[in-house]
Amino acid sequence: MKKKWVGVLMGGISPEREISLKTGEAVFNALRDLGYKAIRVDAKDDIFERFLKLKIDIAFIALHGGWGENGGIQGALNIMGIPYTGSGVCASAVAMDKILSKKIFSYHSLPTPGFWVYEGNNSGIKKFLKEQSFKLPVVVKPVTGGSTIGVYIVFNRKELEKAISQVLFLDSRVLIEEYIKGRDLTVGMLNGKPLPIVEMIPKRGFYDYKAKYTKGETEYVCPARIPAKTTKEIHKIALQAYRALGCKGAPRIDFRLSSANKPYILEVNTIPGMTGTSLLPMAASRVGINFNRLVEMILEESFNERL
């Protein structure tokens, strides 16, 4: 296995490029530490030609957002016959599309917040709002976004109109989601099994981009301090969602836990952050899996799965 060349796909052109570069660099360093023949591949352009020239044996996908997570790069690698880490084309595409994934959650009777969708331009927002009955507050977000970029919690109609307009700069479709008052939790999956639950407690506001990526802005508790019964229920829902979408590899599943301890699944992130301080490695470390070993387990599973 260590004689194979591993191409770490990183960077890209999505708004999450900088985060992807950090993930990719951490993965690359781990692979080199483990003795693998690894090479960095910035997925900006001419990626197919580069992959063919480099003669990569397997791709470790460290891309966030855009075609790195929506099935595009997975489809291209399938065509080139190059095995890769993480979920396949269909699961990646569905997980990236919050509308599709929420419909699948509902079909499988998995609890997820209610939602509305706006498709159009700025001129149609007022009409849309008049036709809908929203119980405020609500959460406004891009249908295909990640890293909490472009996510707003709004408390009145004026803020709602402005938030929809802002999100339209990022996506042609806007998801307006029921706000669940409570706690932010996430569950990583590894080899088809849930890892310990992590709770994210932002020091101010909500768990947005700044809270995620600014040191000291958020307290992380792992395992989350919740009743054992609730832990069991969240793990069960996470596994059901993982299977319903057909995921593979090590995705991360985000939840909101209501004040009545009822969990609601928000979304599945098929390529979560993978730095030394990211949530998935944090959860893995609680069961004795260090960062380097986590990277190797993800690589081994995918290599065995696709060869």
Residue 159 CA to residue 28 CA, distance in Å, equals 42
121 among annotated binding-site residues = no
DSSP characters over 141-170: EETT--TTTT-EEE-SHHHHHHHHHHHTTT
Active site residue 147: yes
Is 278 annotated as catalytic? yes
Q: How far is CA 37 from CA 7, 24, 57, 216, 262, in A?
A: 9, 15, 10, 35, 46
Q: Which of 14, 16, 87, 101 is catalytic?
A: 16
Given the residues 14, 20, 147, 302, select the one marked as catalytic.
147
Cα dihedral sign for 84, 86, 91, 92?
A: negative
Burial of 62 (0-12, 13-18, 19+ CB in 10 A): buried
Contact 240, 189 (CB under 8 A): no
Residue 100, CA atoms < 13 Å, CB-side half-sphere: 13
Q: Among the options 14, 92, 278, 302, which is catalytic?
A: 278
267 labelled ligand-binding: yes
Token pair 């994934």 is at which residue? Answer: 101
Rounded Cα distance between 145 and 240, Å, is 23
The CA-atom distances, in angstroms, between 145 and each of 56, 69, 70, 101, 150 are 29, 10, 10, 13, 8
Amino acid at 222: C
Tell me, rounded to whole angstroms, the distance of Cα 128 from its chain centroid. Answer: 29
Is 269 one of the annotated binding-site residues? yes
The annotated binding site is made up of 254, 267, 269
Catalytically annotated residues? 16, 147, 278
The annotated binding site for Mg(2+) is made up of 254, 267, 269
